[in-house]
Homo-oligomer: A and B are copies of this chain.
């Protein structure tokens, strides 16, 4: 699916983030993210490019098996909203590509903030016109760091790269995901973020 046909995907059209590039630099330092991680993510993007749907299959199976996670894609009385799951899936796949290939600049920060707000009462459901629950609980946003990072290793290892390079790609992925979840937590606690 091309970027322009992904429902609700608005990279490049988001309002400027309240987070500055300088603040991002401090976050990068806090997760030890450096130029070598950027390079490793570019290589990870090559390895993962043809495996995005398989990765999403793993993640969606995990969400589907965990009612507390499936609830975020469901009506308040607990009925999963299939079109919502599908629209988010397309953006989730693009998020894998963006994580690996985009420069982490103002445009990236702006879209990070858009993603962040879409987890909270400010914008949840609005991009998809659905009547789901009003927010993703912060606890699960943070908890998902584990499955979203641990499950990627097998896919990175399929690229026939040396073990040290798989390690480097995996560590860069971990750092980026943790940093992004930190960015996504902002609208949950704007006064103590």
Contact = CB atoms under 8 A, between A and B. Distances in A.
Interface of A: 26-27, 29-32, 66, 68-69, 120-121, 135, 137-140, 142-147, 150, 171, 174-175, 178-179, 181-183, 185-186, 188-189, 192-193
Contacts of A31: 143, 146-147
Which among A69, A178, A186, A192 has the highest number of chain B CB atoms within 10 Å?
A: A192
Given A186-B139, A192-B135, A150 B32 contact: yes
Main secondary structure of the interface of A (DSSP, over half): helix
A192 B32 contact: no
A30 B137 CA distance: 12
Given A30-B69, A146-B178, 13 more contacts: A27-B139, A30-B68, A30-B140, A30-B144, A30-B147, A31-B147, A137-B192, A138-B182, A138-B188, A138-B189, A138-B193, A143-B182, A145-B145
Contacts of A147: 30-32
Contact of A192 (B138, B143, B171): B138
- The oligomer's copy count stands at 2
Given A171-B150, A192-B188, A182 B142 contact: yes
Q: From A69, A138, A175, A183, name the one whose CB has the most chain B CB atoms within 10 angstroms.
A: A138
A53 B147 CA distance: 30
16 contacts: A30-B66, A30-B69, A30-B143, A30-B147, A32-B150, A138-B182, A138-B185, A138-B192, A139-B182, A142-B142, A142-B182, A143-B182, A146-B174, A185-B185, A185-B188, A188-B189
A145 B192 contact: no
A171 B153 CA distance: 13
